[in-house]
Chain A
């Protein structure tokens, strides 16, 4: 029934592929790195040396060069619209590579790995795999590509979450993550199938034009949107798709927690923006009011729920990792605010917020790990009196936390500032959203300050005088990240300009 393509067509197809390969170099490079790491592991027989991690770091660093090469390339689709290359994608490529590197750095600092696992073999490879997957998520322009990349990320994440095989919490987290992830991606695929049914297209741009060209049944469309949102929402960990997050964040190895909470969340947002900004038709005379409004109001509900739920429930947490998990749910809500605005400024604000979140959250988790190394615990009570024992760590953590609250002069403040500016720039229609955001950030101050409160205001019960110095490199890294948090809080122009540069997407008719 489907007639085979003729030789000429095949020729042209191959030609296109060859032409497009040039735009695919970073991904290819990373895939090679992935295999290389496995080989190295086989060679190194999983001996616990830093060979793997160093290799990973260098490899990722190398990839930045290839990504940088792509700046001069024209934005466009490749592989028959499966895949796009634009500033937006480039931004996330940098973002994910950097977060991968930071994940590796944190892993190197975490001493739990020595006790928990024998071989680090596939660990780093999987991190690379996740980087690849996320990069593809950020730049895929086709439903199928979206699905594949998402699953790639998810699977690597499942394994990484359960990487402490003998640790019940880790395994439990993996199981929950798996089931929840599988279900929601299943729902998403079902949504995809509905959209495919409506439009007979899988390419986002074509879908958009199809939808605006011929009509569609709004009921079916909202059903599809809901199901797809289930998939995306689970990635960004927004209420009510967040349920996996606290347990997984608590159970997973801390570096993975940080990695998930920053990188895969960001990937989710990239996907969300691309899908809704491109696939959903805007400004169409007929459908604007039906669909355009619906998904925005959906996102508004999501963001309000996330801000309130995340902050309020975090008040009750006693485990720092879990507390940060809830805070990351809340931050998903703040980032969604930027997406709701639906204009260039909003996108810029969102990207900037992601950057700030990247710095401060990784920083916070890094310090948490260093403290856990020394105290062997992540409970709030065990943070008592740490301020004196680990002065730098205490100061750094405090800085990251007030940055998470959004107090000047830190980068977190600028992130919130830009998000709220984007909201208010729309006039007074989104003012109430901004109000909710403000209120919840006041609430968040309370639980964030619990940590410095324990570290500084309370004396440690036992005065055991063991060496609490996390070591020179760790100190340097902490200091650098703290410095960046404050520096970019005062002179945020470069980051913000970068975010502005990266806001345009290929085939976007929204702004």
Chain B
């Protein structure tokens, strides 16, 4: 099941490989079908998932497999190493409450991404092959339970992303692409060292060999005391934790490692921005929840304060930078920096409310930011500019668009009744309840105001008031005597057309529904998160 959902896009990519590149429509449809199939599988998984099973094992002596679901565990590679028993790498997939949420999100966002890729005209074949490769890699990251496998998927994402930004991107795309590549690789290579170090420090209780299994690694009882990352080797454990954290923080992205994000977003084509903000950023925080924290619980417990401070910086700093942007897309990019700050803050809280909030925020940010970038793309397609000052009074002329924008914007600023609010609220509840991050939370609350500030301001400048003299569109009085606008060289519908609606409406519905009744998602994640919190609390406190 999981293998299928992971490798479906790659299969689609192979099919596309066979299609002649002139048959653009067929190519699109093939990948759309793959994405839809993925979505169906995701729904099946969601229905079949048993929310009562926590996943990782909390206490020493727990089952070495944990209680993951849809587990697929095949021996992949078992090498004889000179001197060192054997190197066992397993093809080990499985989901718990934390990853199943992300699986659903990934399926959703990549399906929508395919739809929004419909307008891509340049080298369609190559585009969709890379796109499908990317989709598979992302999905793989979320379901892999073997560190080696995870790392393979993790690195596999970089190359398609590099090309997708670099070939189909904006004017300054080469710079953005190579910057993204170098940044993220820089983060992940150190992960490689930590991975090896962990491998030599952990023993699989069943086979007695060293193992890459994250489940075994998450159980402190499996560590060799004197090994390089064993309990005795405190310094190296701290180093490893920090290195891993930086690796993931670059993906998040966390201040001060965030500068690749605005460039990447501004240059990337709309669907790629959607994927990037919707799923890729989540991989950073997901990695923290899956690998970074449970493997080094005591280090995490010692550094909650630092993480919280960085989260606060992200929230406030991102909000302020967004406030200053003239480019709408850049503003949205900074806003997602700010929103990922909430995730960091919630994780730093280290208690259930905070972690649930963080995970839920990951999901909601995925859907909401996807919506934001799609909307930016809509206006960019028409006006060929994203300068906020080039617009004004749009809501008179594009009512549907304006309505959806309003929903998305308010969802992004955390309005109650929309999903973003609940996650942010839980993040704050958790962060405030934990003594460590209480004061940090009190500071970060300012983020709510500034978030509202930049969003409302941009909303006013673009949609309210009247047309600005130097606006990117003209007014003309239509047959019915009302004023209409028309964009230069835009033949399509002025307001949203059917394709754009099919992309946006589901997201709007999800946002509203999850804002009113969050249990469909929360119900799945709570058990696992509670267990995670148990694992993270040192035995002394537990």
Contact = CB atoms under 8 A, between A and B. Distances in A.
Contacts of B233: 428
B321 interface: no
Interface in A436-456: 438-439, 441-442, 445-446, 449, 452-453, 456
A286 to B, nearest CB: 26
Contact of A445 (B78, B177, B185, B190): B185
A503 interface: yes
Interface centre among A347, A420, A492 (most CB of B within 10 A): A420
Contacts of B236: 428
A141 B446 CA distance: 75
A446 to B, nearest CB: 6
Interface in B155-192: 155-156, 158-159, 162-163, 166-167, 173-174, 177-178, 181-182, 185-186, 189-190, 192
Contacts of A345: 81-84
Contacts of B155: 407-409, 413
A457 B190 contact: no
A47 interface: no
Interface of B: 76-84, 87, 123, 151-152, 155-156, 158-159, 162-163, 166-167, 173-174, 177-178, 181-182, 185-186, 189-190, 192-193, 196-197, 199-200, 228, 233, 236
Which residue of B166, B174, B178, B192 has the most chain A CB atoms within 10 A of its CB atom?
B192
A348 interface: yes
B76 to A, nearest CB: 8
A276 B192 CA distance: 30
Contacts of B81: 345, 348, 421, 425, 500
A378 interface: no
A438 B83 contact: no
A500 B228 contact: no
Given A424-B228, A428-B228, A457-B167, A449 B162 contact: yes
A457 B166 contact: yes
Given A420-B193, A421-B196, A511 B87 contact: no
Given A343-B83, A449-B178, 15 more contacts: A345-B84, A388-B123, A408-B151, A408-B152, A420-B193, A424-B200, A424-B228, A438-B192, A439-B189, A453-B174, A453-B177, A457-B166, A457-B174, A493-B78, A500-B82
7 contacts: A408-B156, A420-B192, A427-B228, A441-B189, A449-B162, A457-B174, A500-B80
Interface string A389-411: 00000000010001000011100
Contacts of B167: 456-457
Given A345-B84, A445-B182, A453-B166, A438 B189 contact: yes
A420 B78 contact: no
8 residue pairs, one from A and one from B, having the closest CB atoms = A344-B82, A345-B82, A408-B152, A457-B166, A438-B189, A408-B155, A348-B82, A424-B196
Contacts of A446: 178, 182
Contacts of B200: 421, 424-425
A409 B185 contact: no
A435 interface: yes
Interface centre among B163, B193, B199 (most CB of A within 10 A): B193
A408 B144 CA distance: 15
Interface of A: 343-348, 388, 398, 402, 407-409, 413, 416-417, 420-421, 424-425, 427-428, 431, 434-435, 438-439, 441-442, 445-446, 449, 452-453, 456-458, 491-493, 496-497, 500, 503, 511
Nearest to A428: B228
A429 to B, nearest CB: 10
A408 B233 CA distance: 29
Chain A interface SS verdict (over half): helix
Nearest to A504: B82
Contacts of A493: 77-79
B151 to A, nearest CB: 7
A58 to B, nearest CB: 34
A175 to B, nearest CB: 38
Nearest to A388: B123
Nearest to A446: B182
A110 B79 CA distance: 39
B166 to A, nearest CB: 5
Contacts of B173: 457
A409 B77 CA distance: 14
Nearest to B186: A442
Contacts of B83: 343-345, 425, 511
A119 B368 CA distance: 69
A314 to B, nearest CB: 15
Contact of A420 (B76, B162, B196): B196
Residue picked from A427, A452, A503, most chain B C-beta under 10 Å: A427
B185 A453 contact: no
B190 A438 contact: yes
Contacts of B199: 421
Q: Which of A435, A446, A457 has the most CB of B within 10 A?
A: A457
A442 B228 CA distance: 24
A416 B193 CA distance: 11
A461 B185 CA distance: 31
A511 B84 CA distance: 13
Contacts of B158: 407
B315 to A, nearest CB: 30
B4 to A, nearest CB: 18
A413 B193 CA distance: 12
A497 B79 contact: yes
Nearest to A407: B155
A343 B76 CA distance: 26
A435 to B, nearest CB: 7
A500 B79 CA distance: 9
B121 to A, nearest CB: 15
Nearest to A345: B82
Contacts of A346: 82
Contacts of B162: 449
B78 to A, nearest CB: 7
A348 B86 CA distance: 13
Contact of A424 (B159, B163, B197): B197
Contacts of A427: 228
Given A438-B190, A445-B182, A491-B77, A402 B159 contact: yes
Contact of A421 (B76, B80, B87, B177): B87
B158 to A, nearest CB: 7
Contacts of B84: 345, 425
Nearest to A429: B228
